[in-house]
Structure 1
């Protein structure tokens, strides 16, 4: 089991500074942010790719994940989504995802994480949203196949796909080997699931894990490790028992004002627990 930290907490830093800070905090890897002010795919050229790879090599960091979920370069975390009623606006998310796949491939990484459809529009049915999400991904999947990069759909509270069951149902619906799961333990805890049971249900689809603590009321608020009610040690113990060898990336994006300190404190929690 390897540990990374997500660059999405470092929006007040550039990507070079972020790599240095995450490495100095003792992590094995970093989740790159495919959004401004970091590595928005439409802004990335061959020179940028070479610079990123050099910086990672210099600091001994691997890429734990390429985060293609957030899209503040256009509007926000969730919009434009794959299920926008306006097809032209929806196409912006589709085109962004295609570019993100190509950027991940240029960086020699095997997957990107994406939002699970998006917020279901009030005027649309769930069935319409599921079908539209599937159609959006069907447009993206030829690029995924061409560049040999997987799409990790990340269940999230209040979006189209929230639970492990909903992910399995959607994966069966689209039935494509490039569709995988970005397993966010805190998200599944928020919607009432036991993270260990959820991992066991989704393990065949999982190559990457997100970790954060969650408040006792299970509200969707990414909280510093040890400050909430998530059974973190039980969950990490279960991953260890199952010989999970992928990355566990700590994702604490609300902590922008204290990102460097937050990354160090999360590593201290992991060290004190004997996980690193």
Structure 2
């Protein structure tokens, strides 16, 4: 059976412990921790912050579904436009790329501390000067180091594909997993990302059977080939009955996490409405 979780990335106007407690109020079994500002930006997330998080988890009795290390916006004092994923594990600059590898290892540390099963990681984009073939070389080198560390700590790494990134669809992430050949590498499957790329989310789930480390849920207006804007389930056109049936068909029994960072002005409302829309499928 799938358990519902909610990401703290909707609660960016609240401190991390408060976000955890608010999410617990809406009936969720789990919480995804944003591994970035303003919650767990790892260069600044110290032992006291860890203790506060653990206390909030203990008080709320929530489990951690995932550490979301897709972005590292805290890296920049004045972030350039659309820098959400940069520096990434495919960035051309060796120093910046190594910084991102070490950042991901700190996410793995937090996953181990909180008993989270996985860390999700976006590949980033092949920027000008870094053609895709070279970016793939950087990705493989980065993953070798990250996966060695993840395996030592009993944590899985889920690649989250997204249109316009180096790895942007189900076929590409499955090819990467096959190429790397390590059981610790899987897919954090965002159903909305599958849809806006033009895939049937239920079919993407079935194709990914045995490799899913986590699931992100949101609705998309227009469904397949719709615009990439995360909506509360019921406000778009995705077929969540088909999505949950597919998760059941492949035997997935982990967390499905609502990722509604698009509602920072009303996260409690988004969390409540999403739970009401989806809890009947679990």
TM-score (norm 2): 0.92
1:46-81 per-residue CA deviation (whole Å, 9 max, x = no partner) reads 443333222112112111111111211114421111
List runs of 5+ in structure 2 lacking aligned partners.
77-82
Q: Match for residue 126 of structure 2?
A: 120
Counterpart position of 2:256:
248
Q: What's 1:74 paired with?
A: 75
How far apart are the structure 2 equivalents of 1:53 and 1:14? 14
Residue 241 (structure 1) shift: 4.2
Match of 1:211 among 210, 217, 225: 217
Residue 86 (structure 1) aligns with: 93
Give the distance between the partners of 1:267 and 1:105, measured in 2 at CA. 27
Q: 1:237 aligns with which of 245, 249, 270?
A: 245
> Structure 1 residues 175 and 244, CA, compared in 2 at 3 Å: closer, same or farther?
closer
What is residue 168 of structure 1 aligned with on the other side? Answer: 174
CA RMSD of aligned residues (A): 1.6
Tell me, what secondary structure is at the counterpart of 1:64?
A: strand
1:229-271 Cα offsets, whole Å, 9 max, x none, are 2112221132234443111101011111111111111112124
Distance 1:96 1:56 in 2: 23
1 CA distance for matches of 2:135 and 2:273? 40
Q: Deviations over 1:65-112 (max 9, x none)?
A: 111112111144211111112211222211101111112112222210
Matches within 5 A, 1:12-27: 12-27=13-28
Contact 2:210 2:250 (C-alpha < 8 Å) held by counterparts: no
Deviations 1:174-231 (A, max 9, x none): 1122111101111011111111111111111113111101121512111111111211
Q: How many positions carry a matched residue from both structures?
A: 273
**Higher helix proportion (structure 1 or 2):** 1
2:270 equivalent to 1:262: yes
Which stretches of structure 1, 4 residues or longer, exceed 6 Å deviation after superposition?
A: none
What is the aligned partner in structure 2 of residue 183 from structure 1? 189
SS in structure 1 at match of 2:208 = helix
